[in-house]
């Protein structure tokens, strides 16, 4: 007969599951995407659900159809930008509608670094050099330009949103 899993083993299993979810997420966010290549809706929801399990942030995806991989990559980069505004945790929702994408973060407090966010609203923003943990701002800006879109950014005391 086996012994029940110890708390240490449960913690290790949770860490492995979280790492796997993040790797799946990063493969979409930073991976190659060719036009017209879709991502099954269930896969997107599974990635975000698994990331939520051991995180201080809960993720949700709302769409009636499977997203295009290149567009989902852009939405995932926007998610990474919004994540930086939630130092105390919260919720991030990604919505794909007929008018475009909206990535919204809600939490008890929002942290906004204007110099960092300038990379999304100003193509010539070079006043702030991006650290490795902030590359998503530069990448998102480039992907939006390639798509011929711009970011509509809004903040309140408890929310941050990027729509494109």
Name the pLDDT band for 1 (thresholds 50, 70, 90): low
In terms of average pLDDT, the best of 8-22, 108-122, 146-160 is 146-160
Query: Using only C-alpha atoms, what is the Rg of the chain?
Result: 17
The Cα–Cα gap between 51 and 62 comes to 16
Q: Could you tell me which residue, 122 or 44, shows the higher pLDDT?
A: 44
Domains in the chain: ranges and CATH: 7-163 (3.30.565.10)
Pairing of strands 57-62, 90-97: parallel
Name the pLDDT band for 153 (thresholds 50, 70, 90): very high
Please choose, from the candidates 61, 138, 137, the residue with its C-alpha nearest in 3D space to the C-alpha of residue 101: 61
Share of the chain above pLDDT 90, in %: 73
Three-state secondary structure string covering 46-84: HHHHHHHCCCCEEEEEECCCCCEHHHHHHHHHHHHHHHC
pTM: 0.90
Task: Check residue 81 and give its pLDDT.
Answer: 98
Give the residues across from 59 on adjacent strands. Answer: 92
Residues 14-44 have pLDDT tens digits of 889 889 999 999 999 999 987 788 999 999 9
- Is it the case that residue 125 has pLDDT exceeding 70? no
Residues 71-109 have pLDDT tens digits of 999 999 999 999 999 999 999 999 998 899 999 999 999
Q: Could you tell me which residue, 12 or 144, shows the higher pLDDT?
A: 144
With beta carbons less than 8 A apart as the criterion, state whether 31 and 76 touch. no
Chain-wide mean pLDDT for the chain?
Answer: 91
Task: Check residue 123 and give its pLDDT.
Answer: 59
């Amino acid at each position: 007969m086996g012994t029940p899993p110890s708390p240490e083993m449960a913690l290790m299993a949770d860490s492995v599951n979280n790492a796997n979810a993040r790797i799946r997420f990063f493969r979409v966010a930073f991976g190659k995407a060719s036009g017209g290549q879709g991502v099954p809706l269930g896969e997107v929801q599974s990635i975000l659900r698994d990331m939520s399990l051991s995180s201080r942030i809960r993720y949700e995806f709302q769409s009636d159809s499977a997203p295009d991989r290149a567009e989902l990559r852009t939405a995932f980069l926007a998610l990474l930008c919004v994540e930086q505004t939630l130092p105390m945790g919260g919720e991030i929702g990604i919505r794909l509608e007929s008018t475009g994408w909206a990535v919204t973060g809600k939490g008890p407090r929002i942290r906004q670094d204007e110099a960092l966010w300038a990379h999304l609203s100003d193509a010539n923003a070079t006043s702030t050099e991006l650290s490795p943990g902030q590359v998503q701002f530069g990448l998102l800006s480039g992907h939006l330009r390639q798509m011929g879109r711009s970011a509509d950014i809004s903040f309140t005391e408890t929310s941050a949103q990027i729509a494109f």
